[in-house]
Chain A
Amino acid sequence: GAVVSQHPSRVICKSGTSVKIECRSLDFQATTMFWYRQFPKQSLMLMATSNEGSKATYEQGVEKDKFLINHASLTLSTLTVTSAHPEDSSFYICSARRQLEPQHFGDGTRLSIL
């Protein structure tokens, strides 16, 4: 079945640094990729929708300059958390889909900002 790889699975870094998270669709070309954020014991909140070769569409309340999304190819999207602070600590999950199929999710990245 379709596999989505997310890397890294866990990252711990100092406040003020930028962190890049990669999301790859391993055995299919994804027309759309999604980035979600999940707080402890809560649901997933959609941050942005990303189509290859175009700018990401951000949900209301998500800072574009804070969470940079690049979707350079049909198999790779990256999320960069710029100048991260402790309040950005969270579990970030990506998903990818091809047309007419459900979203396939990565295993998530746990980001901890000290």
Chain B
Amino acid sequence: GNSVTQMEGPVTLSEEAFLTINCTYTATGYPSLFWYVQYPGEGLQLLLKATKADDKGSNKGFEATYRKETTSFHLEKGSVQVSDSAVYFCALTDLISNFGNEKLTFGTGTRLTIIP
């Protein structure tokens, strides 16, 4: 079956530090990959996505590249801000193995705290 393994947190960084949150996946078909962000007390917001190998998703200074050879989709940001403090979820959806159902498989989430 499909699975997502995500770097365990919590992660605490100083403002303007470089961020990497690792994510690897297992899928039987051709998954699309996502990063979602959850701010305290809120639902999830799509941060970025990539639908095929070598695609790079980017948004708000965050980037992730779909690496099929390493089955990875690591999230990076060059200079984090206090407002980036949130929980980040890596996820995949795989139409083929789920018989056309675009249900998401999530990683366990990584709590990120940025200190001034």
The residues of A with any CB-CB pair to B shorter than 8 Å are 4, 6, 32, 34, 41-44, 46, 49, 57, 93, 95, 97, 102-108, 110
B14 at the interface (CB under 8 A from A): no
Q: Report how far A105 CA is from B36 CA in the complex, Å.
A: 10
Inter-subunit contact A43/B109 (CB<8 Å): yes
A4-B43, A34-B104, A108-B41 are known; give 15 further A-B pairs, CB within 8 A. Answer: A6-B43, A32-B102, A41-B111, A42-B109, A43-B107, A44-B89, A44-B104, A44-B106, A49-B103, A102-B49, A105-B43, A105-B45, A107-B43, A108-B43, A110-B41
Inter-subunit contact A105/B44 (CB<8 Å): yes
Inter-subunit contact A49/B43 (CB<8 Å): no
Inter-subunit contact B102/A43 (CB<8 Å): no
Inter-subunit contact A103/B43 (CB<8 Å): no
Inter-subunit contact B46/A104 (CB<8 Å): yes
The interface residues of chain B lying within 8 Å CB-to-CB of A6 are: 43
Inter-subunit contact B109/A108 (CB<8 Å): no
Residues of B67-113 whose CB lies within 8 A of A: 89, 101-104, 106-109, 111
